[in-house]
Amino acid sequence: VARSLVQEGHSLITSGSQGVNAAVIRGVLEVDPSQLTVLLPQSLDRQAVEIRDLLERVLHLVEKPEQDELPLPIASSLCNQEIISRCDQLICLAFHDSETLLASARTAEDMGKVVSLLYFD
């Protein structure tokens, strides 16, 4: 999906965790790295070792070292809020018990954003 959106001329904003976000990052880097912005909930040093090499290849990487002392769920929620404020449309892949992501999707809907919520389970 990410590759196709970028090929159609869209820019993408995502966070920097493993899993879906890493797949988005890899896909966009292969097509057009200039169309990708990654917002981290904390500093790069606080990210999982397995993803740091990938994140270091991102042209538009926004770190939040001022949130390093916050618990990760709170920092992630703040990161999601910033992503929502910057986007026109939100595509969210979540599990039904993903409280932080589901709350972010509701917030985006309340702000009048187009939200596509896809569930893994």
DSSP secondary structure of 27-47: HHHHH-GGGEEEE-SS-GGGS
Scanning the structure block, which residue is given the tokens 């590759």?
3
Question: What is the chain's pLDDT, residue by residue, as a tens digit (121 residues)?
Answer: 899 999 999 999 999 888 889 999 999 999 999 999 999 999 999 999 989 999 999 999 999 999 999 999 999 999 999 999 999 999 998 899 988 889 999 999 999 999 999 999 9
Q: State in Å, rounded, how far the first CA of the chain is from the last one.
A: 19
What's the sign of the alpha-carbon dihedral 30, 35, 39, 43?
A: positive
- pTM for the whole structure: 0.91
Alpha helix positions (H), 19-98:
20-31, 49-55, 72-86
